[in-house]
């Protein structure tokens, strides 16, 4: 049911020029019928026979993605219906920005006032400040569900460490903030 809601939140996007690569990483849950039930060719299903961890499936998607931007979602994450429209418009307008994301948590979706961004420690920071936060694991509001990356970021710095199976690749984010904005 959660996956169905996740896929529906993608299908409901006001920005319609997207593809969604759904990876089943060797689960015992029948994922393919949920994807097929969306009745939309923009959903592309792939299954690995054995579980190899989140980074393996994510990296597979990053390498196969055809678009200019990459958005990752877990099977229990939902996005605001204007997310792609707003974030793509921003990235198109500001070509020197390589990623945008929202605030962490499960609150109201959509634009967030500045005071709330600061309260959640999700405000814009310098690249050096981000690297410090990531290295010290202080106030790290980075969540995959809200990020929209330029595909070229992965081409320039590589992919997530496939050895990590239980948490985010902080070293990847450090490389990102050292080289991108």
pTM above 0.75, yes or no: yes
- Residue 75 pLDDT: 86
In tens digits, the chain (181 residues) has pLDDT values of 999 999 999 999 999 999 999 999 999 999 999 999 999 999 999 999 998 888 888 899 999 999 999 998 888 888 889 999 999 999 999 999 998 877 656 555 667 667 766 666 666 667 677 667 666 666 655 555 678 999 999 989 999 888 887 666 778 888 888 888 7
Residues 6+ apart with CB under 8 A from 34: 3, 4, 7
Helix (H) or strand (E) holding 48: strand 43-48
Pair of tokens at residue 30: 């029948």
Lay out the sheet containing 69-70: strands in order across.
69-70, 148-150, 99-100
CA distance 13 to 83: 7
3-state secondary structure of 156: helix
CA distance 172 to 22: 22
């Amino acid at each position: 049911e959660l996956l169905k809601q996740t896929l529906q939140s993608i299908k409901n996007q006001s920005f319609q020029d997207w593809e969604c690569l759904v990876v089943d990483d060797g689960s015992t849950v029948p994922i393919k019928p949920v994807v097929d039930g969306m009745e939309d060719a923009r959903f592309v299903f792939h299954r690995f026979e054995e579980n190899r961890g989140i980074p393996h499936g994510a990296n597979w998607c990053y390498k196969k993605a055809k678009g200019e931007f990459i958005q990752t979602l877990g099977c229990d994450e939902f996005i605001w219906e204007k997310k792609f429209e707003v974030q793509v418009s921003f990235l198109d307008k500001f070509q020197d920005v390589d990623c945008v994301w929202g605030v962490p948590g499960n609150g109201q979706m959509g634009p967030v006032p500045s005071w709330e961004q600061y309260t959640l420690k999700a405000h814009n920071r310098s690249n050096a400040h981000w690297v410090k936060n990531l290295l010290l694991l202080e106030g790290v509001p980075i969540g995959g569900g809200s990020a929209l990356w330029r595909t070229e970021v992965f081409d320039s710095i590589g992919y997530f460490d496939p050895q990590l199976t239980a948490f985010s690749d902080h070293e990847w984010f450090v490389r990102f903030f050292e080289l991108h904005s």
